[in-house]
Structure 1
Amino acid sequence: MSIPAEVIANETPAPTPELPSTAFPILISLSVCHLLNDMIQSLLPAIYPLLKTSFALDFGQIGLITLTFQITASLLQPMIGMLTDRHPKPYSLVIGMGSTLIGLLLLSQAPSFTMLLVAAALIGTGSAVFHPESSRIARLASGGRHGLAQSVFQVGGNLGSAMGPLLAAFIIMPRGQSSIAWFAVAAAVAIILLTRIGHWYRSQLPLAKHHRKRTEVETHLTRRQVIAALLVLGMLIFSKYFYLASLSSYYTFYLMHKFDVSVQSAQLHLFVFLGAVAAGTIIGGPVGDRIGRRYVIWGSILGVLPFTLLLPHANLLWTTLLTVVIGVVLASAFSAILVFAQELVPGRTGMISGLFFGFAFGMGGIGAAVLGQLADHVGIEAVYRICAWLPAIGLLAWFLPRQESAGWH
């Protein structure tokens, strides 16, 4: 997919008091790049069964691979966001995708566990560059429909994450580790698209400051209230991504252990779950724009609790159905949380995006490592009985501020 030349030429909004229209070609192109980026990244956990056998890994080592990827992204994203808030870099996305490409190729040829960790770190670095800057561009292209823009951008990532296990099951698992290199084509396509998006972004920079002043919302909150609200949002991110780590990293092992399904069957179930996550993501943003992000956050995190409590006691059919509901409901929160946080701290879109994407990645990585160790000691089924209570943290959403002008009510 390419961006028509006339779009790049005409996307600069006229300097009028009104908001520019939503730049859907840019948002869709960003979403496609997010799909390609996260599809590549999702190959890593999708091939864990292959790596576990090939390198004789235990669950703890699998958790360390995820931790390396997630922590690399987590530590770098806020710093990159802060840098680009002050000094925007239109073509930094191309550099980030280049790091992902190198990591992908290394992963396909890694001869040892150490090199697997290096490949995971390179892919994590690419993610650290991609997410905060792409989120900033999505906000700039939103035309004031911030929740919708974030959902369109993020659903590409969710779809890519859902495709990874499916592609791994039918392409990588039968052919082995070296076939991972075939996905370099996806990274090359993303680099081309991101170069075109970089041209558009560069053309917007002279008006970006004016646009920000006209579209950012005044919070009318004290510094203490803002910090407290950010802490609550952070706890909700912890709840969401710690639980998601139990499914994204260990769901296949859970299904194979409890129901004795094949690797390919387990990965198909993972694909269904990740597809539900994608559906929840696209739903959450527009609903938050319409009824208020606070309501979406409240309903998403706490509302999933009954289903997570039922999951460890379900048969295979009900496990599949429950994970679909969990994926849709739980995923609807992130767009609302991110835009809520951006509006708490006006003018710091990159820093807040990097902080929350980074924290989400970090919680996913720490969750994978902790849960992997826990699974080694108490068993994989016990992990899901323990994690079932994490969504109860959603009760903290009660303490989020109500401010209708910001769409938070």
Structure 2
Amino acid sequence: MSQPATVGTARQTANFMLLGVSMAHLLNDAMQNIVPAAFPIFQKSMQLSFTQIGWVAFTLNLTASVLQPLIGSYTDRKPMPALLPLGMVFTLLGMIGLAFSSGLWMLIVSAAFIGVGSSVLHPESSRVAHLAAGNSKGLAQSIFQVGGNTGQALAPLMAAYIISPQGQLGFLWFTLLALIGIVVQRYVSRWYTGQIHLQNRPERRSSGESDFTRPKVFVFFVLGTLIMLLFSKFVYLAGMTGFYSFYYMERYQLPLESAQMSLFALQFSGMLGTLLGGPLADRFGRKKIIWFSILGTAPFSLWLPYAGPVASVFLCLAIGAILMSGFSVIIVYAQEMLPGKVGTIAGLFFGLSFGMAGLGSVVLGWLIDQTGVAFVIQLCAYLPLIGILALLLPKDSRLMSQ
């Protein structure tokens, strides 16, 4: 076989692997997000308070938050392809646990299993996307991320049309998704193992060491600013995915299925926003897309609590498309600052996103018990205004020159 044909075959295989991890991301995030989407069902069947619901969300997100940076940092030094299918095994156990949970503690344990599965998937699958990307790192991260957003978009519909009619036993259907995920990740892990063997390890170590030539003050300032932006984004999303259904049903006196349509609109448009975010950042600059993705959400988020049921669907479409366009861009922005720490950055940012969402769920759940769901949804509407901090980020050219 000629060299061009060999290169073409390798490129095609890499593209399939990129689609594979995107599919695994879809399955993982669909199963992970079915948990908050089913909160009204758990509350009714188990007589849970909003604070208790918040603890379930906290556990789900905290396990991922704590483990992801640790896994990412470790696998930067010692890649572990076998973790890819193993993560789906934990998610499978979590789905079985949710189907048979009889009380709060069993819900919390099941949520922890799902969180562990997610903590394994994100840093390692993000590394696979990075390896498979070639020279299109931004686009590859968007393709990987859009799989997750698609899963998030499908979760409210799955809750409305599978879990709601069948109750908790409906979670058994999701074990099929976990089994498919195990097969996909096993296939990807074999390619990943081959790529590790092809890499020149001394060159990888020397490139990793060069990351630390950047001034620590500069690195901490950029990371701190990005973390504040993640806080505004993911606490707002925690309020929407965990509690907006309650607000919608209370304000408009409509059933859960109607409320889930607004959340589906939020997640579906978020999928499109994620897919467009990478290419737009390549054209207009990463910093511009980052600040627009959060601050640009504010007019729509501030209007949402006072809109009618029909208008809320269109506002959720706008919020999702704008807000979700920046996450993959934030990750690539940080990875360009520390290019030898792909897994660490992916683990840190995915972990922080889950941790902030988890803590936000607990605080928001407690606040709802104290003040009511309407006050909290109206309060969350102001969070995207924190996006103004993105103006403090260095320009793309300055970031690369430091």
Which interval holds the TM-score relative to the shorter structure? over 0.9
CA contact (8 A) 2:285 2:396 kept: no
CA contact (8 A) 2:337 2:400 kept: no
Shift in Å, 1:219: 9.6
Match of 2:106 in 1: 115
Distance 1:405 1:205, change over 3 A: farther
Alignment of 1:55-134 (within 5 A): 55-134=46-125
Shift in Å, 1:43: 1.4
Match of 1:17 in 2: none
Match of 1:396 in 2: 389
Moved more, 381-390 or 234-243: 381-390
Distance 1:390 1:162, change over 3 A: same
Equivalent position to 2:181, from 167, 190, 193: 190
Match of 2:285 in 1: 292
- Structure 1 position 359 matched with structure 2 position 352: yes
Q: Distance in 2 between matches of 1:146 and 1:407?
A: 15
Look up the equivalent residue of 1:326 and give its one-letter code.
Answer: I
Look up the equivalent residue of 2:383 and give its one-letter code.
Answer: L
- Structure 1 position 336 matched with structure 2 position 332: no
Shift in Å, 1:23: 2.8
CA contact (8 A) 1:105 1:184 kept: yes
Q: Residue deviations 1:119-170, cap 9 Å, x none?
A: 0000000001010111111111111211111110011111111111111211
Shift in Å, 1:384: 2.0
Alignment of 1:236-385 (within 5 A): 236-385=229-378
Q: Distance in 2 between matches of 1:22 and 1:218?
A: 30
Equivalent position to 1:230, from 216, 223, 227: 223
Q: Distance in 1 between matches of 2:211 and 2:7?
A: 30
Q: Distance in 1 between matches of 2:325 and 2:337?
A: 20
Look up the equivalent residue of 1:197 and give its one-letter code.
Answer: V
Q: Distance in 1 between matches of 2:391 and 2:13?
A: 32
Look up the equivalent residue of 2:149 and give its one-letter code.
Answer: N
Moved more, 180-189 or 216-225: 216-225
Shift in Å, 1:94: 0.8
Q: Could you list the structure 1 runs, at least 4 aligned residues long, displaced by more than 3 angstroms after superposition.
A: 9-13, 207-221, 405-408
Distance 1:103 1:11, change over 3 A: farther
Shift in Å, 1:214: 11
Look up the equivalent residue of 2:33 and give its one-letter code.
Answer: S
Alignment of 1:1-16 (within 5 A): none
Q: Which blocks of at least 5 consecutive residues in structure 1 are unaligned?
A: 1-8, 14-19
Q: Residue deviations 1:174-227, cap 9 Å, x none?
A: 111112112111111111111110011011013345786899997974221011
TM-score (norm 2): 0.93
Look up the equivalent residue of 2:250 and give its one-letter code.
Answer: H
Q: CA RMSD for the aligned pairs?
A: 2.2
Higher helix share: 2
TM-score (norm 1): 0.91
Q: Distance in 2 between matches of 1:225 and 1:405?
A: 11
Q: Which blocks of at least 5 consecutive residues in structure 2 are unaligned?
A: 1-5
How many residue pairs get matched? Answer: 394
Look up the equivalent residue of 2:66 and give its one-letter code.
Answer: L
Distance 1:85 1:124, change over 3 A: same
Q: Residue deviations 1:319-363, cap 9 Å, x none?
A: 111111011000001011011111111211111110100000011
Q: Distance in 2 between matches of 1:375 and 1:262?
A: 20
Q: Distance in 2 between matches of 1:101 and 1:256?
A: 31
Match of 1:136 in 2: 127
